[in-house]
Amino acid sequence: MLGGPRYDYYTVDAALQPDPLACAVTPSNVVNLRAGAGTYFNIIGNLTPETTATAVGQADDADGYVWWKLDTGAWVREDVVDEVGLCQALPLVG
C-alpha cells in the first residue's frame, strides 16, 4: 500500500531507565559513615572520593543538618558530599 499512513514505534526497556528519584553522593575527602542521622551515632565505615554511593532517604538531625541514608543502611551528612540527582525529593526516613 503506497502512500498510506506509516506508523513508527519504539519500545523502551524500563529496567534500563534511570530511577527518576536516584540520588548519588560522592565526597571530596574521606568522610565518616554513621549508624544514624547524627554525629553522636557510631562510625561504621568511611566513604572515599573514589566511591559513589546511592542515597535512598533523608533525615534532619537535632542541629539542623540534613543526612542522607545510603542503600547500605549507613548515613552521611549532606554538607560533606556532592549530590547528583533528585536528592531533595527522597523520602524522610527515621
Q: Give tens-digit pLDDT for 59-78.
A: 999 999 999 999 999 999 99
Structural domain 22-89, CATH architecture: Roll (2.30)
Q: Per mean pLDDT, which of 6-10, 13-17, 61-65 is the most reliable?
A: 61-65
**How far apart, in whole angstroms, are the C-alpha atoms of residue 76 and residue 39?**
9
Distance CA 31, CA 18 (A): 26
Q: What's the chain's average pLDDT? A: 89
Q: What predicted TM-score, i.e. pTM, was given to this entire model? A: 0.78
Please state, in angstroms and rounded to a whole number, the distance separating the CA atoms of residues 17 and 41: 35
For residue 17, pLDDT over 70 is answered with no
Block residue for cell numbers 524500563 = 14
